[in-house]
């Protein structure tokens, strides 16, 4: 069976949240393994105390008929993480997900020269003009560098760490790593990727923005600017 015949990431996501199980899943060990990893990651995320705290807050505010308030570390972001890689935190939605590396286009580590891309999950288009509510996944290509620090900068110049989520340093790229999924909110933005041979601090990267030129040895930079429109 060729790789293209395996279940897509979106199909496995549906199963993981209680959807129907395709017949293919019963006989394919590869897809079974991918589903097990996705479910195990989701279970570990739901057990995280921070996730439980935020979920309780969201439900309480929903019961009062109010919208949940984003925490300070997310206010002003153009992309709201649906679920973070290590400390699962859902602030605007009570449930979220991540995409495993599989047959689909999104992925944390991809071979080739350094690059950063956002893949729209609805159609697989790379770096499209986005609309509020679009769901996108990061696709990172380190060009042989093992560490990545992804920073999002809005139109006002405010820089926030996009990946790894919930930290202030680079993350190590790994073949088996989950791909963060984000929901687009508002405002145009630029995503900067710093790839390096050793971890970087967020404050270092902020000092190199908005147009990194003279970077230390063994650090490379690439970026993509995206427009966010409104749905008609």
Tens-digit pLDDT string for the chain (232 aa): 333 467 776 677 777 766 778 888 888 888 888 888 877 776 766 666 655 555 565 566 556 655 444 333 333 334 544 433 322 222 222 233 444 333 334 444 445 688 888 888 888 888 888 888 888 888 888 888 999 999 988 888 888 888 887 789 998 887 545 567 778 877 788 999 999 999 999 999 999 997 787 899 999 999 998 888 766 5
User: What values do phi and psi take at 40, rounded to 5?
Assistant: -65, -40
Cβ atoms of residues 202 and 124 within 8 Å: no
User: What values do phi and psi take at 132, rounded to 5?
Assistant: -55, 135
Q: Cis omega (within 30 of 0) on the bond before 85?
A: no
Cβ atoms of residues 201 and 219 within 8 Å: no
Residue 195 confidence (pLDDT): 94
Residue 123 confidence (pLDDT): 84
Nearest to 12 by CA among 40, 34, 29: 34
Domain boundaries, the chain: 3-47, 79-229
CATH class of the domain comprising 79-229 = mainly beta
DSSP codes, 100-157? PSSSSS-BS--SSSSEEEEEETTT--BSPPEETT-EEEEEEE-TT-SEEEEEEEETT-
Q: How buried is 180 (Cβ within 10 angstroms: 0-12 exposed, 13-18 middle, 19+ buried)?
A: buried
Return d(Cα 198, Cα 3) in angstroms, integer.
Answer: 34
pTM of the prediction?
0.55
């Amino acid at each position: 069976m060729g790789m293209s015949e395996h279940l897509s990431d979106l199909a496995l996501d549906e199963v993981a949240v209680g959807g129907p199980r395709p017949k293919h899943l019963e006989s394919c060990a590869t897809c079974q393994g991918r589903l097990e990893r996705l479910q195990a990651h989701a279970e570990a995320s739901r057990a995280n105390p921070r996730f439980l705290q935020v979920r309780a807050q969201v439900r309480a505010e929903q019961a009062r008929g109010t919208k949940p308030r984003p925490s300070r570390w997310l206010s002003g972001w153009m992309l709201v993480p649906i679920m973070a890689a290590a400390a699962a935190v859902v602030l605007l939605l009570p449930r979220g997900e991540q995409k495993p590396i599989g047959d689909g286009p999104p992925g944390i580590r991809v071979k080739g020269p350094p690059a950063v891309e956002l893949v729209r999950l609805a159609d697989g288009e790379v770096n499209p003009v986005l609309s509020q509510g679009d769901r996108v996944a990061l696709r990172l290509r380190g060009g042989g560098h093992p560490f990545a620090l992804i920073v999002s900068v809005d139109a006002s110049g405010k820089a926030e760490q996009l990946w790894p989520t919930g930290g202030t340093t680079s993350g190590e790229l790994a073949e088996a790593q989950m791909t963060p999924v984000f929901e687009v909110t508002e405002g145009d933005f630029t995503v900067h990727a710093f790839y390096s041979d050793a971890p970087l601090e967020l404050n270092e990267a902020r000092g190199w923005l908005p147009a990194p030129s003279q970077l230390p040895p063994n650090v490379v930079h690439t970026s993509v600017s995206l427009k966010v429109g409104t749905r008609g």
